Amino acid sequence: MELDIQIDTPEAAQVDESLLHQVVQETLRVQGVTEAVELGLLVVDDARIQALNRDYMGHDYATDVIAFGLEDAATDFATPPDGVRYLGDVVVSYPRAVAQAQEQGHAPARELACLVAHGVLHLLGHDDATPDERTAMDHWMEAIVAGVPALQPSAEPHQ
């Protein structure tokens, strides 16, 4: 897997890049992706994701995650010489992740992981337009988070 991670938010020091990498790897593993793939991951602030949401999705508000998939377009193009399939890009708002983590009562890292997994699932062709699709996406996100050791509660120390 080739993963280009860019963190462009004032809270960049709070974002664990290695965790993001683990989440993408686990998402691909859970989905059975074994071939070489490439994708981009961008962590931004609300102003940047709002601009992207307005310019590309037609919604003038900040959102938590946007996935720009290339799967449909890629079928019209030849496979690159290196044989690596480019899936697209995922953009996540760090401030939205923090706010949603507070609402859900868990750590921002866990929420960020859920949003990254959600975006990668979209790149892999999953949708969440219907209640059944949302339930399936939630199931996949929980399975992915459960497979990332850094997100699991640490063992209680023995006394």
Q: In which residue are the tokens 């996100």 written?
A: 141
- Round to whole Å and give the CA distance between 9 and 31: 29
pLDDT digits (tens, 9 = 90+) for 57-95: 999 999 999 999 986 554 555 566 777 889 999 999 999
Contact 111, 60 (CB under 8 A): no
Q: Show contacts of 139-143: CB within 8 Å, 24+ apart.
A: 140/27, 140/30, 140/31, 141/114, 141/117, 143/30
At residue 158, does pLDDT exceed 50?
no
- 2-151 maps to CATH 3.40.640.10: no
Q: What is the mean pLDDT of residues 108-118?
A: 97
> What was the pLDDT predicted at 10?
93
Angle between helices 131-146 and 17-30 (to 10 degrees): 120
Q: Which two tokens stand for residue 159?
A: 């006394």
Kindly report whether the global pTM for this prediction surpasses the value 0.75.
yes
> What is the amino acid identity at position 26?
E
At residue 43, does pLDDT exceed 90?
yes
As to burial, measured by CB atoms within 10 angstroms (0-12 exposed, 13-18 middle, 19+ buried), residue 119 is buried
Q: What is the mean pLDDT of residues 128-135?
A: 96
Higher pLDDT, 32 or 156: 32
At residue 114, does pLDDT exceed 90?
yes
Residue-range domain boundaries for the chain:
2-151
At residue 4, does pLDDT exceed 80?
yes
What is the average pLDDT score of the chain?
91
